[in-house]
Structure formats: C-alpha cells, structure tokens
C-alpha cells in the first residue's frame, strides 16, 4: 500500500482571455485512488462544454490528471486543486491560473502610451513662458541648460534673484542675532560679577562698622570703671592724711602737756 503522492509540474500557469489552457497533475497511489479537481473555494469541477477531465495511466500506480479549460473567462482565473484519495489517505496539489495580455492588445497599449506622451510634450511646449520656465501640473519650473552652466547662471530670472536676495538677508539677520546673543551673554556675566563685587564690599563695610561699634562700646564701659577706681583711691588717701594730721595733733598736745608737767614739778 502506498499513500497518494501528487506532483505538479507547473504550479503557475498564465493564459489570455478567450484562449484554451491545460492543467496537469501526476498522481501515484496504491491501492488505486479516486482523483478529482476542485476550485480553491471548494467548488468541484464537473466535465462539461468548457471543462474536459481526462486521466492518462502511465503504469499500475502512476496516473496523469489533465484538466482542459476552453475559452477562458475572467472568472476562471484563480487557484485549482487536484486531489487524490484512497484507503490509506488523501493528498492534493495546487495550481494557480493567472491572466496574460494578448500580444496585439499589448502593442495597442504601447501605441496609446506613445500618443499620450506626445500630447503631453506638445502641451508643455505651448505652456512655455517668456522667462524660460514652463507650467507642469500648475507649477512653474525653470528651464535648465546643463551644457551651458555659465550662461544659465548669468541669465537668472527675477524669481531666482529675489530668492538669492532673501537668502542673503536671512544670513545677515542670522549673523546679527548671533552677535546680539554673544553681547547679551557677556553683559549678563559682567552684571553678575559687578553685583558679586558690590555685595562683597557691602558685607566688608558692615563688618568694619560692627567692629568699630563694638570697640566704642567697650571703651565707654572701661572709662567709668577707671573713673570710679581713681575716685575711691583719692578718698582713701584723703582719709589717711586726715588720720595722720589727727595723730600729729594728738602727739603735739601730749608733748606739750608732758613738758608742762615737768616744768611744774621742778
């Protein structure tokens, strides 16, 4: 027993409309298999006026399945399946049929394309302008002459000159803005430095004033203490002098009294 085996010589077949085409599948199976054709949407193909189904036996196990389609229509293009089934299993092969252009129709299309190109060229010539530009799809394009670059550069149109002037103006504006930006940056740095210096000077001045104020307060506190100390010393000295004077007066009185007593006794 052999599982069905399907081989497709040509998996892609092309043909023009209203022509005949033949699709072929080679099948090998044992025991003998049941073979049939089907569209890719599952519709089974039955022999008729436009479809011819034949099988050619090559040997005991090999069969050639042939599907012949007459007078192709647009609905005939697509996928076709050749299916083989026996008691062992089933196998299928796929062939895709696509539409080809007829040779005469192709030449006629080429002629139509050539005529269309000629009409377009004639229209372009009619739409030429005095400044050397031409209208294409509603736009103006400058006509270029690569073989004479110097001439094309020397005879520029008004629009090209205006664009060149605008570009030059934009460049000048850009340079001016850049210089202004640099100047503002430098000015900002200078302002920051000046503010920092002023702040430092203010802090130093405040510290100096504070130190002077503290020194003045300490001096004022010291002077009253010294004055009170000197006053106390003077009072002490005065009292001592007074005591000494009293002592001298007492001593003098005692001496006088003693001398008087001696004189009286003698």
The answer to whether the pTM exceeds 0.75 is no
Q: Give me the residues paired with residue 57 across strands.
A: 63
Buried b (16+ CB within 10 A) or exposed e, 83-92: bbebeeeebe
Mean pLDDT of all residues in 217-233: 60
Q: At 246, is the pLDDT very low, low, confident or very high (cuts 50, 70, 90)?
A: confident
Phi, psi of 208 (to 5 degrees): -60, -45
- pLDDT for 136: 43
- Summarised one tens digit per residue, pLDDT across range 176-194 is 888 888 889 888 888 777 7
pLDDT on residue 130: 45
Lowest mean pLDDT among 64-73, 208-217, 231-240: 231-240
Q: Is the pLDDT of residue 164 over 90?
A: no
Place of tokens 């004189």: 263
pLDDT at 153 over 60: no
Averaged confidence pLDDT in the chain: 76
Q: How far is CA 197 from CA 103, 110, 124, 187, 200, in A?
A: 94, 87, 75, 15, 5
pLDDT score for 150: 44
Length of the chain equals 266
Per-residue pLDDT of 125-135, as tens digits, reads: 555 544 444 44
Model confidence at 206, pLDDT cuts 50, 70, 90, reads: confident
């Amino acid at each position: 027993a052999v599982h069905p085996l399907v081989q497709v010589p040509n998996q892609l077949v092309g043909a023009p409309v209203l022509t005949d085409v033949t699709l072929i599948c080679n099948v090998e199976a044992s025991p003998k298999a049941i073979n049939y054709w089907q569209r890719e949407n599952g519709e089974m193909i039955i022999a008729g006026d436009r479809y011819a189904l034949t099988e050619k036996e090559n040997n005991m196990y090999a069969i050639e399945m042939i599907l012949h389609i007459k007078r192709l229509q647009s609905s005939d293009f697509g996928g076709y399946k050749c299916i083989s089934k026996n008691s062992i299993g089933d196998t299928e092969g796929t062939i895709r049929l696509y539409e080809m252009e007829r040779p005469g129709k192709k030449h006629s299309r080429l002629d139509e394309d050539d005529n269309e190109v000629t009409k377009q060229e004639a229209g372009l010539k009619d739409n030429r302008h005095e400044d050397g530009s031409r209208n294409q799809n509603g736009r103006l394009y400058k006509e270029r002459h690569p073989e004479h670059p110097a001439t094309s550069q020397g005879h520029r149109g008004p629009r090209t000159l205006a664009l060149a002037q605008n570009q030059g103006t934009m460049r000048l504006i850009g340079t001016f803005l850049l210089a202004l930006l640099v100047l503002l940056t430098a000015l900002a740095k200078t302002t920051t430095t000046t503010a920092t210096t002023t702040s430092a000077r203010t802090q130093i001045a405040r510290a100096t004033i504070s130190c002077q104020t503290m020194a003045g307060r300490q001096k004022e506190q010291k002077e009253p203490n010294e004055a009170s100390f000197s006053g106390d010393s003077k009072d002490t000295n005065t009292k001592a002098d007074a005591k000494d004077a009293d002592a001298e007066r007492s001593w003098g009185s005692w001496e006088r009294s003693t001398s008087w007593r001696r004189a009286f006794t003698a």
